[in-house]
Amino acid sequence: MGIKGFESRLERAVEGTFSRLFRTGVSPVEFGRKLVR
């Protein structure tokens, strides 16, 4: 478990939320880029 497990769970949660909102497979990388800007 630890940080890696937490990250993967968070990633899946974020992906699930965004795919439900936008009906597209928003990748964590794209989300990260938008978050940084």
**Tens digits of residue pLDDT in 12-29:** 988 887 777 666 555 667
Rounded to whole angstroms, the Cα distance separating 31 from 21 reads 13
Q: Domain range holding 25?
A: 2-36
pLDDT of residue 32 exceeding 80, the answer is: no
Quick one: angle between helices 2-22 and 28-36, nearest 10? 90
pLDDT at 24: 55
pTM exceeds cut of 0.95: no
pLDDT of residue 4 exceeding 70, the answer is: yes
What's the number of domains the chain is made of?
A: 1
Residue whose entry in the numeric block shows the structure tokens 């769970």: 9
pLDDT at 28: 64
pLDDT at 9: 93
pLDDT at 16: 83
